[in-house]
Structure formats: structure tokens, C-alpha cells
A and B are shown apart, each in its own frame.
Chain A
């Protein structure tokens, strides 16, 4: 998988202020998504079949209704 520049960034919340907990939570959430994406385990991700179905549905509806209605 091609890497983005910011893959090497580390979001590092510092301090003990009221925002620290929120920052830690954000870091946890980002890591979960990074791990899911790295493992290719994004459940319910759209695939080739979905995009093909979108295309067929759209072209089919446009062509059918244009020929029928106009």
C-alpha cells in the first residue's frame, strides 16, 4: 500500500490538563483505525462489486427512463 507522508507523524498529547484525556482518547481511536486499515480489516468496505452495481444501476436507470419517458 502506498504511504502518505504523515504516516510517520506521531500525535503525542502532552501534559495533564483537561485536554489530555481527550487527546489520549483521540490517539486511541486513530490507532484503532490505523491498525484496521493496515490489516485490511475494514468491515463492510465497498468493493469492486459495489462500484460495478452502482454503475450498472445508474446507467440502466438513465437509459431506461430516457427511452421510456422522452
Chain B
């Protein structure tokens, strides 16, 4: 085989057509940490911190940020990074084992296509507002958040993102390696400037900006839920980045330093600044923290930090898209696919700019889906499969795959997904903040995650294992078949 053919095959594997071998994976511990930090450090982190300041004071806000993020990031990483870090498979190809061949497509559509298009539009608009504030600072004019400059800059940001992603993961790696450490330094400077102008006790005593309820514990739990939603929100993306890291350990632990640590840092900065200046918009308070020069530098870097996040989620989304749609899409060039994917976010920017202002609600809604997905992933991989999945089954043709389940859908995981989502909304409505008593004790994401996992286990043992679907270990099938019924419809012939 020629070196060109080898390079083509490796590129195909890099883009998700086949599992990446450990020797081919490019990210070590710190490189994946940089990538994660770049994901976490964007203006959304400042906005989440600002949103936290609406519900609780600074001291409780810091606690809510740490608690919500560690729980969200831990569960999210356990469900998405461990398996992809072990096998080097594309995340949604691997999800065939949990949801079926067509079920993984459905999950991709729900969790990635709509979500990524929304995120690209939101982050693009954030970029636009940063540039507008920057221009306002230089031109000594008031910012115009609905002005044409915002939309044009957002369009530019999406175009720049498409350009970076079209050049492949190597260019993303370069971008991450430069931007992420710089942003960590800028955040450190911001923290220093905030603390240098006020004493620690003064800052910790700052109250909430706009408490929705009189019950302080309830407000605290909402703040925790918002931050947990931020942690869970990386579920659709992290798995496809983790597969680029060298092994399971380097696929998991950088999330704790990168996504968790960097997000906490950014959100705490946002919380402190919002509470101190009474405005959660980073493009406003950044100009007040460190004066003119620092404001320009910080706004510029934060604007481009959005682009790193956009590049990471766009790359992982397209890698997944090529896998879930199949051969037809693989004939379209990578570059054209990138451009086509970016059309919808551009349209959203110009036609539904209100998505930026609804960002907070948009984020919490995603947690209703992501928490259930994470619960199903953990239950399936750790409990039902005991951390062993056959790659032959994952990559088998649709009809012959044991992951064909029932018409390509795994009824167990889909019922579990619906159950988790419904329970979330019943416990806590992201739109209205209506909640039940249970929410004040365990949030909504945790019961949604646990219930989805439990329903998946029970239904797999009662239904799926009985039919011999899903290539589960023999013990699961034996348990399901113990008693009166035997597998009659199993599409997979167990030959061992």
C-alpha cells in the first residue's frame, strides 16, 4: 500500500470512519487539557457566572459553580470519554451500541445538529457583541447590541470557524494551544484586578442581583442546576475530542482540569464582575475592570476564544455527521460539508438574533436531554457491558449488526431517554423555573440521569436481553431468559 493510500486511510480514521489506533492519536494530557480549556473559556462561561449572580450572592455563587460543574463534568465525562478514549471510536458511531444504528442518528439529530447550530449562532453573536463593544471603546461611542456590526462580525466569526475546521484538527490544535493558555492568563489578571479594588470580605458579601424566590435554598439549588447544565452541555462534543487523546486516562482527567477548572475560573470571574458592576454582560464589565488598554486586549481575546469553542464543536459535529448519515455524505468533500453545516447558523444569526438573549433558558433545556443521555451511557457501558464493547459489532453493516435492535432503534434506551427528559421537566421547568419539593434536595439533572440509567437497565434485562439484541454479555441475556421465555427474535446468532 502506498504512503498516499496510508495517509488517506489515516485521514479517514481521523475523521471518524474507523477507530483511531493509540499510536495515531495526537493529544497527550496537556494538549487535551488545552483543548478542553479552550472549550470552557468563552464568554458563555462569563455569562453563566453572571446568571449565577442573579440567584445567589457571591459566596454561595462560588459554591454553586464548583458543585454544579464538578457533578456535571464528572458524569458527562464518564459517559462520553471513557469508551471513546479506550477504543478511539467516533462518539456517535459508538452510540450504536446504546441506541441502535438508527437510534444513534436520532440522538445525533437531537443532541448535536440542532444544538450545534444554536451554539454556533449564540457564540457568533457573542463574538459580534464583543467586537461591537471593542469598536465602541475605541470610537468612544455606546455599544449597539442590535447594530449591523454585531451581525456582520457574527457572520465573520462563523466564516473563520469554517475556515479553521476545513483545515482539519491540526489547525484546531494550533489554535487551542495558543489561545487557551493566553486566556487563562487574562482571567488570572481579571481576578487580580477585581480583588485589588475590593477586599475579599467585601466581595464575598455581595448579594444576589435578582433573587427569583424568597427561599434562599431554592435559589441556591437553581444556581447549582444552571452550572450542572453547563457541565452536561459538553456531552455531545467531548467524546469526539477524547478519541484524539492517547489513552483512557488522558481522555478523562484533562476534563477535570480543562472543562471543570477553566469553566469554574471563567464563571467565578463572571460572577464577581456581575455582582460588583451589576451587569452580567462581559462585553460591558470588561471595559470597567482594567481600563482602556486592558479592555481592548481582553475583549479581543475573549472574542476569539469564542471561535476556538465554535471550531471545536463544529469539528466534532461534522465528524459525527459523516458517520451517522453514512456513505452518501462521505462522497461530499470535507470542506463543502463544513460550509453547508454553517449555512443554518448564519441564517439564525440574521433571522433569530433573540437566541442570544434566550441563551440561559436554551442552556438549561439542553440539560434535560444531556443528563438523561449521560445516565443511559453510564448504565450501558459500565453496568450492562462491563466496559467491553465489540468493535466488530459497532462497525458491522446495518442489517447484520447486533446493534440493529428493532428497526435500528433500541427501545430500551429510547424509552429511558424520554423518561429522563420528562422527569427533568416535571421536577424543574427551565422555562418558568417552576419546581417540585424534590428539586430543592437533588436538583433535576441528577434524578433525570439516575432514572434514565435505571429504566435502561431494567428494560434491557427484561426486554432487550430476552430478544438477544444488542450484543450484551451472556449474563444479561441469561438473566432475561431465566424463566419461561427464550429468545425467539434475536437477529444475532450466538455462536460461541
Contacts and interface: CB of A to CB of B under 8 A. Distances in A.
B395 to A, nearest CB: 6
Contacts of A7: 390, 496
Nearest to B393: A6
Given A9-B392, A30-B391, A46 B248 contact: yes
Given A5-B402, A26-B18, A58-B74, A70 B471 contact: no
A4 B472 contact: yes
Nearest to B388: A4
Contact of B249 (A2, A3, A45): A45
Interface string B39-81: 0000000000000000000011111101100110010001000
Contact of A6 (B21, B60, B247, B471): B471
A44 B74 contact: no
A11 B249 contact: no
Contacts of B86: 42, 45
B338 to A, nearest CB: 22
Interface string A3-40: 11111111100000000011001100110111011000
B479 interface: no
Interface residues of B, number: 58
A62 B70 CA distance: 8
A30 B395 contact: yes
Contact of A69 (B19, B59, B71): B59
A30 B19 contact: yes
Interface stretch (B5-13, B137-145, B207-215): B5-13
B224 to A, nearest CB: 9
Interface residues of A, number: 38
6 contacts: A4-B390, A33-B19, A33-B21, A58-B71, A69-B59, A70-B217
B371 interface: no
Interface in B378-402: 385-386, 388-393, 395-396, 402
Contact of B70 (A25, A61, A68): A61
Contacts of A46: 82, 248-249, 252
Interface string B67-101: 10011001000100010001110000000000000
Contacts of A9: 390, 392-393, 396
Contact of A21 (B5, B60, B396): B5
Contacts of B410: none
Consensus secondary structure, chain A interface:
helix
A11 B19 CA distance: 15
B495 interface: yes
A8 B496 CA distance: 6
B246 A44 contact: yes
A66 to B, nearest CB: 6
Contacts of A48: none
B225 interface: no
B17 interface: yes
Given A6-B393, A32-B21, 11 more contacts: A5-B472, A5-B495, A8-B494, A11-B395, A33-B19, A37-B388, A45-B249, A62-B71, A66-B67, A69-B62, A70-B220
B213 to A, nearest CB: 15
B70 A3 contact: no
Nearest to A61: B70
Given A2-B474, A5-B468, A46-B252, A69 B393 contact: no
A68 B402 contact: no
A52 B59 CA distance: 29
Interface string B393-435: 1011000001000000000000000000000000000000000
A53 to B, nearest CB: 9
Contacts of B21: 29, 32-33
B465 to A, nearest CB: 11
B492 interface: yes
A67 B331 CA distance: 56
Given A26-B395, A37-B388, A44 B250 contact: yes
Contacts of A5: 402, 468, 471-472, 474, 477, 492, 494-496
B473 A70 contact: no
Given A11-B392, A65-B62, A45 B18 contact: no
B194 interface: no
B248 A42 contact: yes
A52 to B, nearest CB: 13
A47 B66 CA distance: 25
Contacts of A2: 386, 388, 473-475
A11 B22 CA distance: 21
Interface in B211-231: 217, 220
A50 B9 contact: no
B385 to A, nearest CB: 8
A13 to B, nearest CB: 11
A8 B60 contact: no
A64 B63 CA distance: 9
